[in-house]
Amino acid sequence: MKKILLGLAFLLGIIFQATAQENVGGAELQFEKEVHDFGTLNQGGDASTEFVFTNTGTEPLVISNARGSCGCTVPEWPREPIAPGAQAAIKVKYDSKRVGPINKSVTITSNASNAPTQVIRIKGNIKATPKEETMPVNQNAAPVAH
């Protein structure tokens, strides 16, 4: 009889613990999109975008850090807590002076219970600005007097 009661108590404990973990609550981070494709941009063009997100949780969301994968990718994030149900944005700017394909990431660290660390990405391609053509200099021309 003791074994049956202990087994039943053990099963009830597991069920109670699983139910309690599902109802933890807290802040939750939900992005509208996690990847932004710039397509093809001209060198030196505007390579900035915003990643809009919502705190779908029950507690204020605090983003403690947002770090680009290199110095050419600079994120800006809200420093104040985001209330439950509120929206905000993380702005990401890429240094478009560099030519070639873009495939960069920003790692976000927050108190979100569903994703304490989350990665958003930018991609695209920067094409070189065409060089201006110069008129060839005629080496045989006589100097012009002024």
Q: Is residue 6 part of a domain?
A: no
Output the pLDDT for position 62: 98
Q: Is residue 18 part of a domain?
A: no
Which range marks the domain in which residue 116 is found? 24-127
Interatomic CA distance for residues 13 and 17, integer angstroms: 6
Split into its structural domains, the chain has a count of 1
Interatomic CA distance for residues 67 and 103, integer angstroms: 15
Q: Is residue 139 part of a domain?
A: no
Q: Is residue 1 part of a domain?
A: no
Output the pLDDT for position 4: 65
Output the pLDDT for position 111: 98
Per-residue DSSP letter, 139:
T
Return the CATH number at 88.
Answer: 2.60.40.10
Interatomic CA distance for residues 127 and 125, integer angstroms: 6
Interatomic CA distance for residues 118 and 109, integer angstroms: 7
* Spans in the chain with pLDDT lower than 50: 18-23
Output the pLDDT for position 20: 44
